[in-house]
């Protein structure tokens, strides 16, 4: 911990920037706005922004219909979300959350733009699901104010957020981001900065092993998913879950584990690699281990 970190008071967060309007970023802005934060959503793709706003509008409307949210509360929350492609919009944010694709090069490029425009006192967090927080922090001008905030998907429904300190992360940064998580009515679990942290360190090798089970012909897609749902009481089969997460993300996490821990048990299954090469990434491309182009998902193997 830095000497500066010991002297600093815990920052108060009122305005939060989110970079990336995909599935994760779109969910994060929704829960932040409902918790009363002023939110700035940045993405270079206006269509992605429009989809994120439409999804937030639709999901909050559903909450109103169920009586879980007042219509006035909904309108107030949605009005708190500002959007754009210019990183200069982040200038007044006290916390900035990077929620881009799980690619270290992309994230480092984004972080370099963030530090050009962010207030010098702003905290920066990454929603990475596997990449070293220490290494990402070193790409910024404020490693002591950098932390991992790994939200679970889908963000509005999942209670857990993994909070990961890099080697330089100071206590005020940790306490400030933990307070944000608590205000979102979510639970923070602290993880050490090792590849894939806690959830994905356990979950993704299970999914990868399910793909190996398919690859080796032990069972087909339907048999594997049914076996784990009925035999292990999982709410969703591992291959169905892989499609939901995105097969490209599953592969990226397995590659981080394999390279970071140098253990052959984390070697990505060749069949997973092949699906990603084919562009069959799961639900987001309408094809993965299931084909979603019809009314009912059909196994592809």
Same domain assignment for residues 52 and 126: yes
Catalytic residue among 15, 127, 129, 208: 129
Give the tens place of pLDDT for each residue, 153-195. 999 999 999 999 999 999 999 999 999 999 999 999 999 999 9
Number of domains the chain is built from: 2
Give the tens place of pLDDT for each residue, 100-129. 999 999 999 999 999 999 999 999 999 999
**Mutual angle of helices 23-34 and 46-65, in 10-degree steps:** 50
Same domain assignment for residues 126 and 175: yes
The CATH code of the domain that includes 286 is 1.10.1040.10
pLDDT tops 80 at residue 273: yes
Concerning whether 150 is annotated as a catalytic residue, the answer is: yes
pLDDT tops 70 at residue 5: no
pLDDT tops 70 at residue 4: no
Select from 191, 218, 242 the last residue of a domain. 191
Concerning whether 104 is annotated as a catalytic residue, the answer is: no
Concerning whether 71 is annotated as a catalytic residue, the answer is: no
Q: How many CA atoms lie within 13 A of 173 on its CB side?
A: 30
Concerning whether 129 is annotated as a catalytic residue, the answer is: yes
Same domain assignment for residues 26 and 172: yes
Residues with Cβ < 8 Å from 18, sequence gap 6 or more? Answer: 25, 28, 29, 32, 39, 40, 41, 42, 96, 97, 99
Same domain assignment for residues 55 and 125: yes
Q: What is the pLDDT of residue 295?
A: 95
Q: What angle do CA 158, 260, 5 make, to 5 degrees?
A: 65
Q: Are 112 and 96 in contact (CB under 8 A)?
A: no
- State pTM to two decimals: 0.88
pLDDT band at 140; cut points 50, 70, 90: very high
Same domain assignment for residues 52 and 151: yes
Instruction: For residues 55-81, give the mean pLDDT.
Output: 95
Cα–Cα distance measured from residue 248 to residue 240, given in angstroms and rounded to the nearest whole number: 14
Beta strands in 100-194 (DSSP E): 123-126, 146-151, 160-165, 187-191
Q: Are 82 and 29 in contact (CB under 8 A)?
A: no
Same domain assignment for residues 133 and 263: no
Give the tens place of pLDDT for each residue, 208-245. 999 999 999 999 999 999 999 999 999 999 999 999 99
Select from 129, 157, 191 the last residue of a domain. 191
Same domain assignment for residues 223 and 255: yes
Q: What is the pLDDT of residue 10?
A: 87
Same domain assignment for residues 16 and 129: yes
| H, E, C per residue of 254-276 | HHHHHHHHCCHHHCCCHHHHHHH
Select from 191, 210, 245 the last residue of a domain. 191
Catalytic residue among 102, 130, 132, 150: 150
pLDDT tops 80 at residue 8: no
The CATH code of the domain that includes 142 is 3.40.50.720
Cα–Cα distance measured from residue 153 to residue 195, given in angstroms and rounded to the nearest whole number: 19
Quote the mean pLDDT of the chain.
95
Token look-up 């269509």 returns 47
Catalytic residue among 15, 126, 132, 200: 200
25 conformational bin, left if phi > 0, alpha if psi -120 to 50, beta if neither: alpha
Same domain assignment for residues 186 and 261: no
Same domain assignment for residues 184 and 36: yes
| C-beta atoms surrounding 215 within 10 Å | 14
Tokens describing residue 276: 């990603």
| C-beta atoms surrounding 235 within 10 Å | 8
Same domain assignment for residues 9 and 108: yes
| Percent of the chain with pLDDT strictly greater than 90 | 95
Same domain assignment for residues 45 and 157: yes
- Range of 278's domain? 200-299
Give the tens place of pLDDT for each residue, 73-106. 999 999 999 999 999 999 999 999 999 999 999 9
């Amino acid at each position: 911990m830095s000497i500066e970190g010991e002297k600093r008071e815990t920052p108060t967060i009122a305005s939060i920037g989110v970079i990336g309007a995909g599935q994760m970023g779109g969910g994060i802005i929704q829960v932040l706005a409902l918790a009363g934060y002023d939110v700035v959503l940045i993405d270079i793709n206006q269509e992605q922004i429009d989809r994120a706003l439409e999804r937030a509008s639709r999901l909050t409307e559903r909450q109103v219909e169920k009586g879980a949210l007042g219509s006035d509360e909904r309108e107030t929350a949605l009005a708190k979300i500002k959007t754009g492609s210019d990183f200069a919009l982040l200038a007044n944010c006290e916390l900035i959350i990077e929620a881009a694709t799980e690619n270290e090069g992309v994230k480092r490029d984004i972080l370099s733009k963030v530090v050009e425009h962010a207030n010098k006192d702003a905290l920066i967090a990454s929603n990475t699901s596997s990449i070293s927080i220490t290494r990402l922090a070193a790409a910024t001008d404020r490693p002591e104010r950098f932390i991992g905030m790994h939200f679970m998907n889908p963000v509005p429904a999942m209670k857990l957020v993994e909070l990961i300190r890099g080697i330089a992360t100071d206590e005020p940064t940790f306490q400030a981001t933990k307070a944000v998580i608590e205000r979102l009515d979510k639970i923070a679990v602290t993880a050490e900065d090792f590849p894939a942290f806690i959830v994905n360190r356990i979950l993704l090798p299970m999914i990868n092993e399910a793909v190996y089970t398919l690859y080796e012909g032990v069972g087909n897609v339907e048999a594997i998913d049914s076996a784990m749902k009925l035999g292990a009481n999982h709410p969703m089969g591992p291959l169905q879950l892989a499609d939901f997460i995105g097969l490209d993300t599953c592969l990226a996490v397995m590659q981080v584990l394999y390279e970071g821990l140098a253990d052959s048990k984390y070697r990505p299954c060749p069949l997973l690699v092949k699906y990603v090469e084919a562009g069959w990434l799961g639900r987001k491309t309408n094809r993965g281990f299931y084909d979603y182009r019809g009314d009912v998902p059909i196994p592809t193997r």
